[in-house]
Amino acid sequence: MGQNEMLSFSRSAILSYLLWCLLFLTLASSNGAVATAKPKAGCGYKLVSLVQLPNGGGLVGYLQVKQRTSTYGPDIPRLRLFVK
């Protein structure tokens, strides 16, 4: 084959090849397991109060746990979040 000779493929042949590859990859990546939602770890925190510090010192939010859980160990019942 010379430098100027090229193999020619029809668009339908290329499309068929790509679709077969996509089907194969889809089936190969599936292990038969069905995706399920992960159980909720907790209910989070609620903002109890927000205080603005003087002279542009930032904000302090006081948070309280909504509902206690022991999924990852004991919850911290109250938190202070400082933002500047």
| Mean pLDDT, all residues of the chain | 80
Question: What pLDDT, on the 0 to 100 scale, is given for residue 19?
Answer: 84
Q: How confident is the model at residue 46 (pLDDT cuts 50, 70, 90)?
A: very high
Q: What pLDDT sits at residue 36?
A: 75
Q: Helix count (H) and strand count (E) of the chain?
A: 1, 3
Beta-carbon contacts of residue 57 (< 8 Å; ≥ 6 apart): 84
pLDDT for the residue 64: 93
Q: How confident is the model at residue 52 (pLDDT cuts 50, 70, 90)?
A: very high
φ/ψ bin of 73: left (φ > 0), alpha (ψ from -120 to 50), beta (otherwise) = left
How is the chain split into domains, by residue range?
45-83
Which has more confidence, 13 or 63?
63
Instruction: Report d(CA 24, CA 67) in Å as an integer.
Output: 46
What would the two tokens of residue 63 be?
Answer: 């948070």
Length of the chain as a residue count: 84
Q: Would you place residue 82 in the very low, low, confident or very high pLDDT band (cuts 50, 70, 90)? A: very high
